[in-house]
Structure 1
């Protein structure tokens, strides 16, 4: 009986369709609206740092089944000798995957592909703090769902039950629900 209902719902969702897709802009909007960005602070007797994630851009499918995430992190270092503020722009490539138990997309195998800081004259001073900022971004991006199906909506609840995997193509992530 359950399989008959699921099959009927699949027909209602899209006839012969076997997937549901979201675009780069839909994914960026979701991340902006739904994913929590927290500020990280580290304090020692000699200095304090604050790191915050301020901007995320998504590029889908520039490589097979790969997603590029560009993120800007603001860093403020407080110390009595040389206080500074800077930003670090990092680009990661990752493979999105669907976790059926969470009904959500996550990223795995994050690799840093580009790193720039502003102002550029501070690269040497930032060299000591940059690994902390990159680790913060990597941890954040690997442990936050980047998209979660809304199981309170009938069509997405059905999709959540039927999705087997995701496929990344230029500009889109598709939730594949037929094998």
Structure 2
């Protein structure tokens, strides 16, 4: 009886959440995604360093533009440092990248990832050179693309009842100017 009541209440909450979601989609702003991305990069860098990777990545700035020109893409401007440890010496590089990708919602992970990444602009500066040095830029782009393919730019928060309920129903995302909207899947 208790299990039946519990199942019934979960179904009722899911139906309520889906009804509310269809009327007024849950939206995530560019600022929320920027904060989530910076936290995720910090965690990623810490894990990479703990695993013995010679490459360190830190972000000073992540600027996200959602839905530019009415397109279903996210443009991300990243500024930060990449440091490569070679023979006990750190070689620091200041990087600036502008990438474009399509936000995709993974319902199993309850997270949004960027797919089909394209490099729009790049520059690399170090004490040794400045400009767009293609081999360095290509390497940095591969590292950032690999990171963004495996690390979500946003994840639903299980500690929030509303977001936990969203994760229980079939959802998709829609890119709107300045925000991502979680909507009922077709």
The structure richer in helix per residue is 2
Aligned to 1:110: 117
Q: Show structure 2 runs of 5+ residues with no match.
A: 1-7
Say yes or no: does 1:90 pair with 2:97. Answer: yes
Deviation of the 1:132 alpha carbon: 1.8
State how 1:1-179 maps to structure 2 within 5 Å.
Answer: 1=8, 3-11=11-19, 13=20, 17-35=23-41, 36-38=43-45, 50-54=55-59, 55-63=61-69, 64-76=71-83, 85-118=92-125, 122-123=129-130, 126-177=133-184, 179=186
Show structure 1 runs of 5+ residues with no match: 42-48
RMSD (Å) for aligned C-alpha atoms: 3.2
Give, in whole Å, the separation in 2 of the partners of 1:70 and 1:88: 10
State the alpha-carbon separation in 2 of the partners of residues 160 and 79 from structure 1.
44
Aligned to 1:46: none
Post-superposition Cα deviations, 1:118-159, rounded to whole Å, max 9, x if no partner, equal 259714795443322111111111110111112232211111
SS of corresponding position for 1:88: strand
How many equivalent residue pairs?
Answer: 170
TM-score (norm 1): 0.77
